[in-house]
Amino acid sequence: MEILLWLVPSVLVTLAAMLWVSWSSRDGRGEVDRDVAVERLGKALAKDLPAGTRRTATPARDRSTGIAVRPSHGSGPAGGSGRRAS
């Protein structure tokens, strides 16, 4: 344990710096008016995409039921009813 005592000063300085930064930047952002935020969002969504990017339709996903089902291969076994016990 005595070997790790050299870490104590650096841990204390780090903790003090973290507390100071969190306290000093607490009031830095302020509140943005809701109407102003909505206006900014509308402007951002109305912008054209930069050159080189394109909007593609999202691929249609198969709805997963959570159950693994093997695909059928047409007719079942040649000599049976098509159902197996296992």
- The CB-side HSE value for 64 (13 A sphere, CA atoms) comes to 4
Q: What band does 8 get if pLDDT is binned at 50, 70 and 90?
A: very high
Indicate whether this model's pTM tops 0.85: no
- Percentage of residues of the chain with pLDDT beyond 70: 76
Q: Which residue has the higher pLDDT, 26 or 40?
A: 40
pLDDT given for residue 85 in this prediction: 64
Q: How far apart are CA 86 and CA 3, in angstroms?
A: 63
Q: Which of 1-5, 27-31, 48-52 has the lowest mean pLDDT?
A: 27-31
Given CA atoms 64, 70, 73, 78 in this order, what sign does their dihedral have? negative
33-73: pLDDT as tens digits: 889 989 999 999 998 877 767 667 777 777 777 777 777 77
